């Protein structure tokens, strides 16, 4: 349904804007860890995943494994002070 897809796209844009997500082409490529997100199995109908990961010079990966293709990223929050 076109209307449903349009509403979904609008919701995605609003959610990203409010949450501070940025396009992957602006992500740090120096090994800095970031919170990244993408679609499960690269399929928007399956929902999203989120993971702390870093660019390893070849792909976005955790210490354990490479990730599905991330679509957005945001900096990690600062660690607690206490």
* Dihedral sign for Cα atoms in the order 63, 65, 68, 69: positive
The mean pLDDT of 49-77, rounded to a whole number, is 87
Residues in the chain: 82
- What digits encode the pLDDT tens for the residues 15-52? 766 668 899 999 999 999 999 999 988 889 999 889 99
pLDDT reading at 72 higher than 80: yes
Q: How far is residue 75 CA from its own chain's centroid?
A: 10
Per the CB < 8 A criterion, the answer to whether 24 and 53 are in contact is: no
pLDDT reading at 11 higher than 80: no
pLDDT number for residue 63: 79
pLDDT number for residue 17: 60
* Dihedral sign for Cα atoms in the order 11, 12, 14, 15: positive
């Amino acid at each position: 349904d076109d209307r449903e897809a349009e509403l979904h796209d609008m919701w995605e844009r609003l959610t990203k804007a409010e949450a501070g997500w940025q396009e992957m082409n602006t992500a740090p490529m120096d090994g800095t860890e970031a919170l990244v997100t993408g679609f499960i199995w690269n399929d928007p109908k399956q929902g999203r995943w989120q993971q702390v990961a870093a660019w390893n010079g070849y792909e976005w990966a955790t210490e354990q494994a490479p990730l599905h293709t991330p679509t957005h990223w945001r900096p990690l929050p600062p660690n607690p002070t206490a």
